[in-house]
Chains A and B, each alone.
Chain A
Amino acid sequence: MATTQERVESQVLAPAGERTEKYRSLRSDVWRQFKRHKGAVAGLILMALIVLAVVVGPLVWPPDPYAIDTTVANQGPSADHPFGTDNLGRDLLARSLIGGRISLSVGFAAMLVGLILGTAVGVIAGFFRRLDGPLMRVTDLFLALPILPLLLVVVMLFREPLKQSFGEELGIFLLVVVIIGATSWMTTARVVRGDVLSIKEKEFVLAAQSIGTRKRNVIMRHIIPNTMSPVMVSAALGVAGAIITESALSFLGLGFPASFPTWGRLVFDGRNYLHLNPAWILAPGALISLTVMSVNFIGDGIRDALDPKLRSR
């Protein structure tokens, strides 16, 4: 799929003057432009470090995130506990690392759900004229929904039943991922639809259709690969949005239960100890902010790198 995309896009997008130069693939061009964006590179490095810390950290850092030791409760940062301890003496660095696994996987999983849904709606609306009107009305309707209140209501109503059928961790994980994904697909759908509307009029789509390619294959091989650039930007913004929404739900007490210390949950638990132990919420709050910031910078970088006007500079 990627090779079709490269071939097509390099033909469509390459400025006339550059044809005499050595052949450069789209991918290397995009990467070259991406590297020029200092914020994006910094974001990528930071994101890699955070992912590494969250994946490897709990294996390396010895304290047990669930071990209660009230003799060291509510301590500020020290050599033994770099992020301090909570009111039950649990090490906050260990809890932040283990919680980061949940926060990040919710972010990526919800982004994928939203992205698949948004791309599907966008492609169908753009490709089949008859479905365009109804699907776009549905999109408009979703854009007018009071998202956060509805999310809160859904979590309240579905948390217990899902907990019983899938177990505590998986149940709430599925619930949070599905509802965040199901309420964050609208911008992707709009952007993809706009792209599909212009791509389906291009010659290569006509050529594919004229040699008898099935509609399904036209969509899968020719349309979708060419809509990938706006989708990648949506993906970056989607991760950021999903992490913020998950932590907001946890912060309002309607996300993960206390036994799963996601970053939002740690802030929620720590907020009643502001006067006593401000370090408790500073570390997880800063981690959320840094993650979201790096993802946003990466999204900016991808957008600039994929913009042919900027790239040819």
Chain B
Amino acid sequence: MGRYVIRRTLFAIPTLIVISLIIFAILDLAPGDPAANLPLTIPAEVREAIRESLGLNDPFLLQWLKWMRLMFINEPLHTIESIFNVCIGDCEARDRILSWSSRAPALDIIWQRMPQTLWVLGGAFIIGALIAIPVGIVSAYRQYSWFDNLGTFFSTIGFSVPTFFTGILAIIIFSVALGWFPSFYDTTLVVNSWDTFVLQVKQMIMPVVVLSLFNAAALARFTRASMLDNLNEDYVRTARSKGVGETKVVMVHVLRNSLIPVVTLLALQIPGIFGGAIITEQIFRINGIGQLLIAAIGQSDVPMVQTLTFIFAVLIVLFNLIADVTYGVLDPRIRYD
């Protein structure tokens, strides 16, 4: 198992390098000038000096290598230094990736925004799975029952209605009409008492539920289809004829085998889930990394956009890796290919 995990991890590194190259290539191929948003009153030679100082005149491969050095050498060193409060080499003069609009290190801003995104995303993922897998199991076990028909109908609706529409509907119903939940997310809230905890739960409910419904719909369908494939297999009949209890047959034998394709499909959906998170943050005004990305794009803040897109890629590859490892746990054959 250890070797399998190491192999998958090593495979993720070239993927990330190529993705960062693609991000740079797109930004470089684009005919737009990142310095075009500077005021027109700036004289031409000053503008040229600004371009020079930002490194915009360098060839694109050099720009990419410089960014790689900052991202993979300087930033980790800085993180180590700030954790252990030590100084390695010339820590005072070390360059970091700076956002053009705020002149602050891009990763510092990203770390401030990350918890909000991960809370909503993680909550949505867990709640989605908790709803979807039981629904999928029951739907498959009682195929064509009223529960199955209802579940299939609602899951098709669930992944047909885009998150931005369910989100807005939720705001209209629960914030505007009923006034139960706040329509935006207050990140300044510090949870230090029961009342603030209740407030925190209240403001998280809508974004988490909206995002999890979308995930749950697809997941429930996959689980159902996969369970149906496995329920008629010979090994299920064998287990029953040996006298294994029905609950154990379904929950252990069938479910474990059925989850294998579900995990694969889930891994394929991960980029979509992150896309949904960006939209959800925009609807509920959560200041996570998705909203940061939209703001950075609006300000043509190139280093911020590069770094954020790369962070999204890292998160996606990381979740894919988790899915791969889960896959290996569920199916021992995978580990030895």
B294 at the binding interface (Cβ < 8 Å): yes
Docked complex: A260-286 residues within 8 A CB-CB of B: 264, 267, 271, 274-275, 278, 281-282, 285-286
Which residues of chain A (263-313) have a CB below 8 Å from chain B?
A: 264, 267, 271, 274-275, 278, 281-282, 285-286, 288-289, 292-293, 296-297, 300
B32 and A254 contacting across the interface, CB-CB below 8 Å: no
**Cβ–Cβ contact A146 & B27, under 8 A:** no
Given the known inter-chain contacts A143-B268, A297-B156, please indicate yes or no for A149 contacting B309, CB distance below 8 A: yes
Residue B159 interfacial (CB < 8 Å): yes
Instruction: Write out the residue numbers on chain B whose beta carbons fall within 8 Å of the beta carbon of A150.
Output: 22-23, 26, 309
Chain B residues close to A by CB (< 8 Å): 15, 18-19, 22-23, 26-27, 30-32, 153, 156-157, 159-162, 164-165, 168-169, 171-172, 176, 183, 268, 271-272, 274-275, 278-279, 282-283, 293-294, 297, 300, 305, 308-309, 312-313, 315-317, 320
Q: Is the interface of A mostly helix, strand, loop or mixed?
A: helix
Contacts of B283 in A (CB 8 A): 271
A-B contact count (CB 8 A): 132
Q: Which A residues lie within 8 Å of B160 (CB)?
A: 240, 289, 292-293, 296
What is the CB-to-nearest-CB distance from A243 to chain B, in angstroms, rounded to a whole number? 9
Asked whether, in the complex, the Cβ of A145 is within 8 Å of the Cβ of B19, the reply is yes
Cβ-closest chain A residue relative to B282? A252
Interface assignment of A85: CB less than 8 Å from any CB of chain B:
no
**Neighbour of A251 across the interface among B15, B164, B176, B272, CB < 8 A:** B164
Chain A residues closer than 8 Å to B162, beta-carbon distance: 244, 247-248, 285, 288-289, 292
| Residues of the A chain whose Cβ atoms lie less than 8 Å from the Cβ of B293 | 149, 152
CB-CB under 8 A from A247, the residues of chain B are 162, 164
- Contacts A146-B309, A149-B308, A282-B169 given; 9 further ones with Cβ under 8 A? A144-B316, A150-B26, A153-B305, A153-B309, A251-B282, A281-B168, A289-B160, A293-B161, A296-B156
Distance, CA A286 to CA B162, complexed state (A): 10
Tell me the complex Cα distance, A158–B159, Å. 30
Query: Interface on chain B toward A: helix, strand, loop, or mixed SS?
Result: helix
Residue of A nearest to B183 (CB): A274
A148 CA / B157 CA spacing, docked (Å): 22
Instruction: Kindly state the separation between the CA atoms of A252 and B274 in the bound complex, as whole angstroms.
Output: 14
B31's closest neighbor in chain A, by CB?
A161
* Max chain B C-beta neighbours (<10 A), residue from A143, A146, A158, A251: A146
A-B contact pairs, 5 of them (CB 8 A): A154-B30, A157-B30, A251-B282, A252-B278, A286-B165
Closest partner residue, chain B, to A245 (CB atom): B275
Closest Cβ of chain A to B288, distance in Å, is 13
A282 to B312, CA, bound (A): 31
- Give the one of A144, A154, A278 with max B CB within 10 A: A144
The CA of A143 and the CA of B274, in the complex, are separated in Å by 13
* B171 contacts across to A, CB distance below 8 A: 274
Chain A 137-165 interface mask (CB, 8 Å, partner B; 1/0): 00011011111111011101110110000
Question: CA of A257 to CA of B305 in the docked complex: distance in angstroms?
Answer: 22
| A296 touching B164 in the complex, CB below 8 Å, given contacts A144-B317, A147-B271, A252-B294 | no
Contact in complex: A252, B317 (CB < 8 Å) = no
Q: A172-188: which residues lie under 8 A (CB-CB) from chain B?
A: 187
- Using known A-B contacts A146-B312, A158-B30, determine if residue A39 contacts B156 with beta carbons closer than 8 Å: yes
- A289 / chain B contacts, CB cutoff of 8 Å: 157, 160-162, 165
Asked if B23 and A293 sit within 8 Å, CB to CB, the answer is no
Across the interface, name the chain B residue whose C-beta is closest to A243: B162
Whether A152 lies near B294 (C-beta < 8 A) is yes
Contact A248 B164 (CB under 8 A): yes
- Using known A-B contacts A274-B171, A300-B156, determine if residue A161 contacts B32 with beta carbons closer than 8 Å: yes
